[in-house]
Amino acid sequence: MTTHATSALPGSNTARQSLGEHAGPASQIITGKARLAGVIGWPVSHSRSPVLHNYWLRRYGVDGVYVPLPVQSGTFEVAVRGLQAAGFRGANVTIPHKESAYRLADVLDDSALQAGAVNTLIFQDDGKIRGLSTDGDGFVASLQAEGHAIRSGTRALVLGAGGAARSVAAALLRHGMDVHVSNRTAARASELASALPALGVVAWDGWENRLGDYSLLVNTTSLGMEGGPDPMFSPSFAQAGAGLVVADIVYVPLVTPLLAQARERGLATVGGLGMLLHQARLGFTAWFGVEPQVDDATQAHVLGSLRG
């Protein structure tokens, strides 16, 4: 049975290092005691999580490895149980498995309960699997890092109705925003609104005409993603107000057609890389015993992998 957890992240046998402490060597020796984690998804080749986490492992001199784990739908639970049996410390979870991870977890933090999805699994010493959702708080942190304050009472429109959409919407609601959601499949949007009753629903074929009502637009779908269902997704911003901030959680490419179109209209934009960096910190801390820093060096390293 799944239980509700409110305690802090599990401790580590290794000393925790803070943000500003001395970074470790540029490379590390992997031993038989190495801590193991990875990212589960299908596809997973686009993910830059291995680039990010292995950079942090080298930077802080941690004996550990983080690997991509391509897992097809229908085999998720078997794969997770196998990783746990093989001694992994846990894993990140990306499309399309976040809701499956929610159902599989034995213990759910408040973040996961509110989001209805899990993007971070922690394999505890007692054999239980703990689930967190760090997407929402990671998204908010990325907005704030770009200088965009979240003001209570202002309105946000979230595109999508999957695990990431629910996590982002829940985080924005916690910060006092009036949040609406729009999805290509109307039934999915209605399900999300039922799960988060404070949400409003906007028809997919009408949201572009209502952009003047919002101060924030967030795309949480895979539309615009390289290799996704519609990599050229580029709606009109003709009805947007000058103060609209347009955010996209997609980060491959760095500037999606959605963001490019918004920039042409002179609107402020926020790409998906910041969310990737900020949402990763909790999992890394739990698996590897070090609290990493999201700073210019971290961003430059991941950016280099995207441009390479």
Which residues on adjacent β-strands are paired with residue 182? 159
Distance CA 207, CA 210 (A): 5
Catalytic status, residue 98: yes
pTM: 0.81
One of 35, 97, 98, 130 is an active-site residue; which one? 98
The rounded radius of gyration (Å) of the Cα atoms in the chain is: 19
- Domain segments of the chain as ranges: 3-133+276-307, 136-271
Residue 18 confidence (pLDDT): 33
The one-character DSSP state at 8 is P
Residue 20 confidence (pLDDT): 34
Helix (H) or strand (E) holding 181: strand 178-182
Distance CA 117, CA 104 (A): 10
SS3 48: coil
Q: Do 3-133+276-307 and 136-271 come out as alike in CATH topology? A: yes
Class of domain 3-133+276-307: alpha beta
Per-residue pLDDT of the chain (308 residues; tens, 9 = 90+): 556 554 344 333 333 333 333 344 455 688 999 999 999 999 898 889 999 999 999 999 999 999 999 999 999 999 999 999 999 999 999 988 998 999 999 999 998 998 888 999 999 999 999 999 999 999 999 999 999 999 999 999 999 998 889 999 999 999 999 999 999 999 999 999 999 989 999 999 999 999 999 999 999 999 998 888 899 999 999 999 999 999 999 988 999 999 999 999 999 999 999 999 999 999 999 999 999 999 999 999 999 888 75
Judge: domain 136-271, CATH 3.40.50.720.
yes
